[in-house]
Structures are given as C-alpha cells and as structure tokens.
C-alpha cells in the first residue's frame, strides 16, 4: 500500500517554529537560477528538489598562435580560468517544522525564475498545498500533485542508474555495517518493497513499466499504531528505540516453547517464533514495553520479509529493494528485514537498501516536472562536496540525536557534460569493481589513507593558492576549502560509508569536488604547463636515442621510459617532496630511481614475446600525468605502436585532477609533437592516432563510467589492447579489472605504505600483462601477481 497518508501527525505539528535560525545559504544553494521545484512532504520530513545552474571557474587551455611568435615567454599554451555554467540538482531534506521558514527563505532568494508549476508528492502534499502557493507568492503558479508511486519508481531508477554504490546490504554484526553493491549495468527488473503505513510491492521492468503486484496492510502504520496502543509510546522513533532494547522471547511463543527443543524433522530450530505474542495469550504476567515493541517489530518485519520473498519467487526476481519510512535509515528495521529475507530465501535473495531512499519521491516528482529538460538523457554524478552522505546509524546514537543531527540533509548531483557508459571491453560488467581496496572494510588502510590525505591538505591549499596568485579573495576561498575538506575527512573517519564504500578514489574525488566548490578548478595548471614545456624540449632527444637501440633494447627502454615518466607525480607525497626541493630533477634521475628487474610484478618477458608476434589492431591507452610522463614516457611508446601498425586511442581526463594531463592539454601537446615528429603527424592525419576524453575528472579510473564516445571508438576500432598507466588508474583502481582483450597495467609505486603492503618498496614497479583466458596470445608462463591486501 502506498504511503501517501503516512502519518497523522497531531495538530501541534502545524505550528511552525519560526524562531529556528537556519544557515540557509549553505543549505538552499544556487537559488538564483533555480527552477523546476518539486516537493515531497512526508509524515515528518519534507524533501525539496530543484534544478539550478552553477557558475564556476573552469580551467581552459588555448594554444598560442605560433605563427606570430610574439609570446614573450616560450610558453606552449595559455591557461585561462573561465566562468562556465553547469547544471546541478539540489535535494534538501528537513523536518516538516521548518517548512514555513524554508519557503520564506526560498521566496526571498528566488530570482530569475520562470517557475509556474511545483510538483508535489507525499502524504503531506495536500495539507501544505495552500501554504506553498501562498508563501512562494506565485499567484500564477500552481502545485501539481503527482502520483506517489510513480515518483518513487522514477526516483529509484534515477539513483540506481546515476549513483555508484547507491544500494547496500545491511549486516549488523559485520566490520562495516553497510556492504555497498556495484551498480548493475542493467538495473531492471527489480522489486521495490515500499513500507509506509502499509506495504506496496512493485515490480519494475523498465523506465516506464512498473506494476504494483501486491502489498500488505501490515506495515509501518501497524507497528506504530499497534505499538502506541500496547506501550503508550507515541513516537515512531521511540517505539523503535524501545524495540531495540527488548527481548521478544518473553512475549513470543517459540518452537522450543511448544516442542521443548527444535522441530528437527522440519529443520525448524527451537528459537524460531512459532506464534507471535503467543505467550501473552496464556500467561497472566505483565510484559515490558520493550519486550512487546520488540515482538511487534519482529512480527511485522518477518511478515513483510515473507511476503516480499513470496512475490520475488513468483515473479522470479532476485533484486529486492526496501524503502519507506519504516526502513529509512533505521538500523533496527534494516536488520530485522534482512534477517527475515535471509531466513525465508535461505540467502537466495538479498535485502537491498538505498542510500538516498528518502529522496526518491522528491527526485521522481522533480523528474516529472523537468521532463522538458529531459534529465534522463544525461549522466549525473553525486557531488561529494555538496552532499551530506549517509547518516551514521551507530547504535550508540539514539534516534533523537540522529534526528537532530540530520535536521538538514543535502544531496547534490552535477549534470555531466557527456553520457557515461561501460567500457565495452570489460569481461563482466556486472561484477566489475573499480577499487582495489575497500577502506570501509579495511580499517588499517582507512586509518592510513585518511591520515595521508589530511597531511597532504596543507600542500594542496598552498598549490591552490599558487594557481590564482592575482586574485585577492583566493586566500579566503582556499581557507574555506581547507575547512570543508578537513570536515569531510573527519566525517569519513566516523562514517566511512557516507558516500558508499570509502576508497582512495573517493577520497581523491571528494578533494576534487571540494576544490571545484571553492573555484580552484585546476591548482596544478601552472606546474603542468611548466613541465610540459620542459619535457617537450627533450622529446626529440629521447626519440633519437631510442632509434639507436636494437629492437629488443628499444622495447625495454620504451617500457622503462613510461615507468620513469610515471615517477613524476605531484599526487604522490614522496615524489612531490623531491620535485619541490629539486626542480631540476630530471628524466634521467627518475630512471635511476626505478627498481631493477625483476620488478615487483614483472610480466615483461611475456610482453616482449607478444611484441614479437603480429601487431595489435588498436590500443586504448589511459594516460596519467602531464609533463615527462606523457611526453617523454607515453608518446615514444605510442609512436612505437603506430610504427608497428597498431592504431592508438589516447584517453585522457575530461577535466583537471592533480597534475594529470587533460584532454584539452593533450590536444595541444600532441599537435606540438606532431610538428616535430612525422610519425605522430602521420598518425593524426591518417586518423590512426585518436585523442578522446575519458569522461572522468578523477586521478583514478572507473571503467564502468566512461565517455560514450570513447566506448564507441573502442568498438569501432576493434580495440584489442588496453594500456592503463599510473598508480591511481592501475593500482588503486583496476588492479583486478578483468578485460576481454589483452591488457597492460603499468605503474610505479610512489607511496611507501602501499609498496609495503604489496610487498615491495618505494619506486617498485608493477608491470602486469594479462591475456584473457582462451586468447590465442595467452602467455605460457603467466606471472602470479602479489595481492595488495
């Protein structure tokens, strides 16, 4: 049953507390150009959604006109920070008591809007319709009520499709109570069990096709209503708290109360509940409120779980998501539902929960209202800087505290310029996990990396400031960035699950989001520029030196070149210290730093054997850093591939991240190299060397979210080799990625802790060459890689 009228709140809730002061400018952000408002008013919480545009700085590079040759400095290209407008979705959740204050704030700050219709859903929608229309003073606007279930499903599809690690399994006694699920490439079909006052069971088959296949009247309202009668406790949260302290065995009749032990021949254990409240039917004793609440919770959770399983079985569905106010972030109910599902399906079906479950209605209502902007044709990304993340459900924190601390909760999603899709070469997209170590589960690693990022913060702030030397208010922004990111790190220390599984990648991405938030789009732009300039000067020397070598020597020198180039990494503290203190540190020194063979992971012999065979059809190369790395390491390697007759697709970041080379920069660099090198020039001309953007702005790489165009090129060119370079892309992520073609993962470990973990030392080399099983080029003597855990 839908929960349109979830709650009958006592009349007191209508009195708005106007004395509450909000920090609204931090909550209702970007209201200036807000449009497409949608609101979901539930029993106790209101969710507001709007669409807005964000004006922020982006770093652009532009090639100088070299014919003029008047550029004073010998710079290769010009960096500019331009204002760009991007679209962002804002979702805010707050207690109903704040509705009036919030509407006032919105009215006062809403300008430039052409809002005529506000989509509303949820049980409170009709109650507050007049208030909304009056408060927003939109005499010409109207509030449109949308069907709750339709909104819910639309919202659910949206988050499942756009937010990695949206769904999780709850495990109360595990090291990390949340186990996040990979986004399945195909989200359909699934079952959504919405537990409001009643229960609705909905089968969702596609974006627009869903059906309520069943339901039950025993739901959250039953727990609340019956619980209030039995315990004289009025609030839902308090009832849950009572339940978490009770013992159901004093109220329920267990199998062992009837049998004296287990009912062995049926496999029913003695502790199983034979009859809920069965003991209160016969015993004349008084029962504690806690015990009754617990028994009631078990009864209802088990019943819902059982029905959900019966429906899942009948419709042959294995993905079952649970939502509704009964579930919403309550560890007690997530646990009992999970237990019930495990019991009834013997583990065949997992109970899945959603991080943004509370927002589904608002998101769906918004999407309905924004259909003309067609949000579903884009890819969206969760903005870690602007989103609160999942609240702690630690049992030490009572629900009251949680409610207070969660007074305002925010989710922001950025519209990505390009649509993101899976790399077509993933062996099994549904089981692909980008990240190598899950810091949510690995407490030691988590400790280390959180410390590491905190320690590096000063350096990042300094770098950010240095990138905008002429802007006076940069100091203030840099300080805000420092506070925000430090706060995020502290949050993650306590709630590592806030944005899904915590990984080195998510820590890096959070930092990038925070930098962008405070308008530091590319702190490394100047360093990158300097290093690119410097490296270009050496390009021809390097290429000439390589030409003098024998074929075999050359192959080895090319690989060492890529590895040496990869030493130049401002993201790695060990290296940035060196680069900082010795600006003259050069390519030669870097080569000397490299570990001698045999490397930590060394499949070079297999690679060399392979090179003696026929050339690859097409290689996809995910590049890493700018400067020495791309120009002196990668380009000569690419050049050799081209000479062998292999087409090359160079994939670089769409937006800046650390000192990684961006697609914009690479376009210019490649042009300059082509001027010096006929091989590269011909490659470009014949379209055998192609530059594509990856769709990412992260130092790491998620092969399940790549630019659609990249995927198309990969398919068209019949790519049969993927090269992934660098620590972020080949070790922190994708170390275990299985591809359906040959792959090369090359990195220098520039972090002593990580090196230690992998059984190596600083500047150890990982050279992993993998051939999918059954491939004719499979090496006879594959090297077993050490595991980084």
Partner 1 sequence: MAFNGYQRDNDEATDEDETPTKQMRSMKEMPKRFLLNEPNNDTTTAASGSATSDRRLSNSAARQRMELLGKNRPPFPWFGMDIGGTLVKLVYFEPKDITAEEEQEEVENLKSIRRYLTSNTAYGKTGIRDVHLELQDLTICGRTGNLHFIRFPTHDLPAFLQMGRNKHFSSLHTTLCATGGGAYKFESDFRTMADLQLHKLDELDCLVRGVLYIDSVMSSGPSECYYYENPTDPEHCIQLDYTLENPYPLLLVNIGSGVSILAVYSEKNYKRVTGTSLGGGTFLGLCSLLTGCSSFEEALEMASQGESTRVDKLVRDIYGGDYERFGLPGWAVASSFGNMMSKEKRESVSKEDLARATLVTITNNIGSITRMCALNENIERVVFVGNFLRANTLSMKLLAYAMDYWSKGQLKALFLRHEGYFGAVGALLELLNPS
* Footprint on this chain of partner 1 (rule: CB under 8 A): 1-2, 4-5, 7-8, 10, 123, 147, 149-150, 196-198, 200, 212, 214, 216-222, 224-226, 228-230, 234, 251-253, 255, 257-261, 263, 265-266, 272-282, 287, 292, 299, 302-303, 306-307, 310-311, 313-314, 344
Write out the two tokens for 450: 């959180």
Helices (H), 495-550: 504-517, 525-547
Which CB sits closer to partner 1, 219 or 633? 219
CB 228, min distance to partner 1, A: 6
For the chain, the residue count is: 789
CB 314, min distance to partner 1, A: 5
Cα radius of gyration rounded to whole Å, the chain: 29
CB 259, min distance to partner 1, A: 4
Which CB sits closer to partner 1, 279 or 415? 279
- Cα(583)–Cα(578) distance, rounded to whole angstroms? 8
- Cα(305)–Cα(290) distance, rounded to whole angstroms? 22
- The secondary element (H helix, E strand) that includes residue 725 is strand 721-725
Order of strands across the sheet that contains 647-652: 601-602, 765-770, 742-748, 721-725, 618-622, 647-652, 689-693
CB 487, min distance to partner 1, A: 38
Which CB sits closer to partner 1, 246 or 434? 246
The DSSP output letter for 372 is G
CB 315, min distance to partner 1, A: 10
Residue 329 near residue 358 (C-beta atoms within 8 A): yes
CB 305, min distance to partner 1, A: 11
Which CB sits closer to partner 1, 253 or 391? 253
Q: Kindly write down the DSSP assignment for every residue of 298-338, as one continuous string.
A: HHHHHHHHHHHHHHHHHTT--EEEEESTTTTT-HHHHHHHH
- Cα(19)–Cα(38) distance, rounded to whole angstroms? 25
Which CB sits closer to partner 1, 108 or 211? 211
CB 634, min distance to partner 1, A: 57
Which CB sits closer to partner 1, 260 or 773? 260
CB 603, min distance to partner 1, A: 52
Count CB-CB contacts under 10 A for residue 108. 10
Residue closest to 714 by CA, chosen among 427, 421, 424: 424
Please state whether the peptide bond connecting residue 189 to the residue before it is cis, i.e. omega within 30 degrees of 0: yes
Residue closest to 188 by CA, chosen among 309, 314, 319: 319
CB 785, min distance to partner 1, A: 47
- Cα(618)–Cα(689) distance, rounded to whole angstroms? 10
Cα distances from 332 to residues 338, 406, 430, 612, in angstroms, run 10, 18, 30, 61
Measured CA angle at 271 (ends 265, 275), to 5 deg: 90
CB 253, min distance to partner 1, A: 5
In the chain, what are the helix, strand and coil shares in percent, each to the nearest 5?
A: 45, 20, 35
Write out the two tokens for 746: 């090359």
CB 190, min distance to partner 1, A: 18
Which CB sits closer to partner 1, 51 or 287? 287
CB 317, min distance to partner 1, A: 13
CB 201, min distance to partner 1, A: 10
Which CB sits closer to partner 1, 220 or 627? 220
CB 376, min distance to partner 1, A: 21
CB 398, min distance to partner 1, A: 21
Which CB sits closer to partner 1, 281 or 548? 281
The dihedral built from the CA positions of residue 146, 147, 152 and 154, taken in this order, carries a sign that is negative
Write out the two tokens for 69: 């040759």
Say how many CA atoms lie within 13 Å of 195 toward its Cβ. 30
- Cα(232)–Cα(287) distance, rounded to whole angstroms? 13
Which CB sits closer to partner 1, 164 or 219? 219
Which residues are CB-contacts of 178 (< 8 A; sequence separation ≥ 6)?
A: 168, 169, 170, 171, 390, 440, 497
CB 1, min distance to partner 1, A: 4
Which CB sits closer to partner 1, 266 or 784? 266
Residue 644 near residue 617 (C-beta atoms within 8 A): no
The single residue listed with the structure tokens 């000439």 is 544
Which CB sits closer to partner 1, 8 or 348? 8
Q: Is 254 helix (H, G, I), strand (E, B) or coil?
A: strand
Which CB sits closer to partner 1, 289 or 768? 289
- Cα(750)–Cα(18) distance, rounded to whole angstroms? 55
Tell me the sheet residues that pair with 51. Answer: 35, 89
Which CB sits closer to partner 1, 2 or 755? 2
Treating both helix axes as pointing N-terminal to C-terminal, what angle do 236-245 and 220-231 enclose, rounded to 10 degrees? 70
Residue closest to 120 by CA, chosen among 141, 147, 98, 94: 147
Which CB sits closer to partner 1, 306 or 778? 306
- Cα(735)–Cα(436) distance, rounded to whole angstroms? 6
- Cα(680)–Cα(677) distance, rounded to whole angstroms? 6
CB 47, min distance to partner 1, A: 19
Which CB sits closer to partner 1, 279 or 335? 279
Which CB sits closer to partner 1, 315 or 482? 315
Backbone torsions φ then ψ of 323, nearest 5 degrees: -150, -170
The DSSP output letter for 747 is E
Residue closest to 145 by CA, chosen among 121, 127, 129, 124: 121
Residue 622 near residue 724 (C-beta atoms within 8 A): yes
Residue 592 near residue 771 (C-beta atoms within 8 A): no
Which CB sits closer to partner 1, 224 or 432? 224
């Amino acid at each position: 049953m839908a929960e349109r009228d979830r709650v009958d709140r006592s009349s007191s809730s209508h009195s708005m507390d106007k004395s509450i002061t909000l920090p609204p400018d931090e909550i209702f952000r970007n209201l200036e150009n807000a449009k497409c408002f949608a609101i979901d008013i539930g029993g106790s919480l209101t969710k507001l959604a709007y669409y807005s545009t964000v004006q922020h700085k982006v770093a652009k590079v532009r090639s100088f006109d070299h014919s003029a040759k008047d550029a004073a400095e010998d710079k290769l290209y010009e960096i500019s920070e331009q204002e760009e407008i991007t679209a962002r979705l804002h979702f805010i959740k707050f207690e109903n008591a704040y509705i009036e204050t919030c509407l006032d704030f919105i009215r006062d700050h809403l300008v430039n809007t052409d809002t005529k219709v506000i989509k509303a859903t949820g049980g409170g929608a009709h109650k507050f319709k007049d208030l909304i229309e009056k408060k927003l003073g939109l005499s010409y606007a109207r509030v449109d009520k949308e069907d709750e279930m339709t909104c819910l499903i639309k919202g659910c599809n949206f988050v499942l499709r756009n937010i990695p690690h949206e769904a999780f399994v709850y495990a109360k006694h595990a090291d990390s109570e949340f186990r996040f699920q990979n986004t399945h490439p195909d989200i359909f079909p699934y079952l959504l069990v919405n537990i409001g006052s009643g229960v609705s069971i909905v089968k969702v088959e596609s974006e627009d096709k869903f059906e309520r296949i069943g339901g039950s009247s025993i739901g959250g309202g039953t727990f609340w209503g019956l619980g209030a009668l039995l315990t004289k406790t009025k609030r839902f949260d308090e009832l849950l708290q009572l339940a978490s302290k009770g013992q159901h065995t004093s109220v329920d009749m267990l199998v062992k109360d009837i049998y004296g032990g287990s009912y062995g021949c049926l496999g029913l254990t003695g502790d199983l509940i034979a009859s809920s409240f069965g003991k209160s039917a016969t015993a004349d004793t008084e029962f504690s409120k806690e015990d009754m609440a617990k028994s009631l919770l078990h009864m209802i959770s088990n019943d819902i779980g059982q029905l959900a399983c019966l429906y899942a079985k009948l419709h042959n569905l294995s993905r079952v998501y649970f939502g509704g106010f009964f579930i919403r972030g309550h560890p007690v109910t997530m646990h009992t539902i999970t237990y019930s599902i495990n019991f009834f399906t013997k583990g065949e079906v997992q109970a899945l929960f959603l991080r943004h479950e509370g927002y589904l209605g608002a998101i769906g209502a918004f999407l309905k209202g924004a259909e003309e902007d067609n949000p579903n044709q884009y890819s969206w990304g969760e903005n870690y800087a602007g989103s609160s993340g999942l609240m702690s459900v630690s049992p030490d924190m009572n629900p009251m505290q949680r409610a207070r601390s969660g007074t305002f909760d925010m989710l922001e999603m950025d519209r990505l310029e390009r649509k993101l899709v899976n790399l077509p070469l993933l062996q099994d997209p549904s089981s692909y996990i980008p990240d190598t170590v899950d810091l949510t589960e690995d407490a030691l690693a988590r400790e280390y990396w959180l410390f590491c990022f905190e320690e590096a913060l000063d350096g990042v702030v300094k770098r950010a400031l240095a990138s905008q030397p002429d802007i006076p208010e940069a100091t203030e922004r840099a300080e805000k960035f420092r506070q925000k990111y430090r706060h995020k790190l502290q949050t993650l220390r306590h709630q590592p699950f806030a944005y899904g599984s915590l990984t080195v990648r998510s820590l890096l991405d959070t930092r990038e989001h925070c930098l962008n938030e405070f308008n530091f789009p590319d702190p490394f732009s100047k360093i990158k520029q300097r290093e690119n300039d410097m490296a270009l000067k050496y390009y021809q020397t390097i290429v000439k030196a390589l030409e003098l070598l024998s074929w075999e020597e050359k192959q080895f020198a090319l690989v060492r070149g890529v590895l040496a180039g990869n030493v130049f990494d401002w993201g790695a503290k060990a290296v940035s210290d060196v680069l900082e203190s010795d600006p003259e540190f050069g390519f030669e020194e870097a080569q000397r730093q490299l570990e001698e063979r045999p490397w930590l992971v060394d499949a070079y012999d297999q690679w060399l054997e392979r090179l003696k065979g026929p050339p690859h059809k097409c290689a996809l190369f995910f590049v890493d850093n700018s400067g020495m790395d791309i120009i002196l390491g990668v380009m000569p390697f690419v050049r050799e591939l081209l000479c062998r007759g292999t087409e090359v697709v160079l994939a670089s970041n769409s937006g800046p991240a650390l000192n990684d080379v961006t697609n914009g920069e690479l376009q210019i660099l490649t042009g300059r190299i082509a001027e010096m090198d006929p091989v590269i020039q011909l490659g470009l001309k014949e379209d055998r060397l192609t530059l594509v953007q990856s769709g990412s702005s992260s130092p790491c790489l998620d092969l399940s979210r790549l630019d659609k165009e990249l995927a198309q090129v990969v398919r068209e060119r019949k790519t049969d080799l993927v090269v992934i370079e660098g620590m972020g892309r080949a070790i922190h992520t994708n170390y275990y990625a299985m591809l359906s073609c040959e792959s090369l993962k090359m990195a220098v470990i520039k972090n002593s802790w990580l090196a230690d973990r992998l059984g190596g030392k600083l500047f150890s080399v990982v050279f992993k060459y993998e051939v999918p099983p059954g491939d004719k080029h499979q090496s006879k003597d594959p090297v077993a890689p050490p595991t980084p855990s």
